[in-house]
Amino acid sequence: MTLSSSRSRTPLSIGAALAAAAALTLAGAGSATAGPAAAAGSTTVTPAGHYFAANLSGSATFKAGSVTVTCTVSSSTPTGTGDANRVPQAPDNSNAAGPVGGPLNAPTYSSCRTSMPGVSATVTTSGAWGVSVQHGAPSTATLSMPIGGLVVKTSGLANCTVTAAPDAGASITGTWTNGAPSKLTFTNVSVPVDVVGGFGCPTSATSSVFNATYDITDTTDPASQITVTG
């Protein structure tokens, strides 16, 4: 989840998002003609050059059709080398007119269950993920994942495979809150999915709704906090 500005050599975001999550944030379809897009404000992420981890607070849920998968363990952690899960070095930790972003180690998910009796679930992730943050009111963070970057498989009375972002990379946007620790919250965000399987599988579902909150901690200096300002 390395954060780097658009001046960084690392792409701002690559592909799509967290747990059966990764797609555009749910948005209403209004009939009014859209006006010019507002210019993005400045963003600074500190401490520059520090590594960070994202650890699930509570549970993460993915809902496709009538089936809900709940995981109680999820994280994205740095390796201590490279740019993934790292705030960019100055001056790339600041952007005068937009977000700061970069690569993220693919989040892992475990201790997962389903809403269907006799059905268990596993969640696997792969590929190049990314994150970008934008200061605002509220500040936001957008996670990105590649095609097929997250797969949910169920077994037992229903054998289903749910693939997120099946046709193209996707992104989801959550709310960033500074604190000790800072938090990244996803509320009812939607990601395109493809579902295959037999009886009990929600094969007509084309999207999954994702909810989760992650604690963002500084692993370079645990006494510091990862903070987004303007």
pTM of the model: 0.84
- Give pLDDT, residue 58: 98
Tokens 């399987």 map to which residue? 197
57 C-beta neighbours (distance < 10 Å), count: 15
- Give pLDDT, residue 12: 30
CA distances from 14 to 43, 70, 84, 184 (A): 19, 26, 12, 18
Q: What is the pLDDT of residues 204-221, one digit of tens each?
A: 999 999 999 999 999 999
User: 111: alpha, beta or left, given left = phi > 0 and alpha = psi -120 to 50?
Assistant: left
List of the chain residues with pLDDT < 70: 1-39
- Give pLDDT, residue 38: 57
Torsion of CA 56, 186, 225, 90, to 10 degrees: 120
Tokens 């590929």 map to which residue? 127
13 C-beta neighbours (distance < 10 Å), count: 23
- Give pLDDT, residue 7: 39
Query: What does the block give as tokens for 92?
Result: 């790339």
